[in-house]
Amino acid sequence: MGYWLFKTEPDAFSIDDLANRPQQTEPWDGVRNYQARNFLRDDIALGDKVFIYHSSCKTVGIAGVAEVVKAGYPDTTQFDPESKYYDPKSSETNPRWFRVDVKFVEKFPSVIPLSTIKSMPTITELGVVKKGSRLSIMPVVENEWQQLCAVAKR
């Protein structure tokens, strides 16, 4: 079982958007970063748990949990000239970008603020506490996942 953190800008897509459609499969598409692509294509598995992280907003931090319901497969927006994620250098026979599907699991009673996460001395691996981390998809180690879940439920 793997653990991950996905960033999203809540103005575009928030934990509430997920929560309002609890039965629905949501595509996590438009990721255009090679390191994140490799995670999506190679490492993120069915059943993995995902922290939904709100960035570029009033309260930056972890807002809740989702679950992977479909592992990596080609992100079709890369083939669509109308899409803002269109990539003319990609092809259906050799796709460059991948996505997974997720579904809602839970919304935390309140967002765990980034400042709180940074203040926890035992959270050292998580990418968001590292300076200048711009990755939108990042792994979470299990013990840090458990710690953050405990904080969320306080």
Partner DNA sequence: GCCAACGTTGGC
Contacting residues for 91 by C-beta, under 8 A, at least 6 apart: 79
Would you give the end-to-end CA distance of the chain in angstroms?
24
Nearer to DNA, 60 or 66 (CB): 60
Please give the angle made by the CA atoms of 48, 147 and 46, to the nearest 5 degrees: 0
- Is position 118 an interface residue for DNA (rule: CB under 7 A)? yes
**CA-based max dimension of the chain:** 49
Judge contact between 102 and 69, C-beta under 8 A: yes
Separation between Cα atoms, residue 28 and residue 102, nearest integer Å: 7
Q: Which of 93, 121, 131, 153 binds DNA (CB under 7 A)?
A: 131
Q: Which of 5, 60, 66, 68 binds DNA (CB under 7 A)?
A: 60
Nearer to DNA, 14 or 136 (CB): 136
- Is position 59 an interface residue for DNA (rule: CB under 7 A)? no
- Is position 96 an interface residue for DNA (rule: CB under 7 A)? no
- Is position 133 an interface residue for DNA (rule: CB under 7 A)? yes
Can you name the residues that pair with 106 across neighbouring β-strands? 65
Kindly identify the residues of this chain, within the stretch 6-35, that bind DNA according to CB under 7 A. Answer: 7, 33-35
- Is position 78 an interface residue for DNA (rule: CB under 7 A)? no
**Contact positions toward DNA, by CB under 7 A?**
7, 33-35, 55-56, 60, 114-115, 118, 128, 130-136
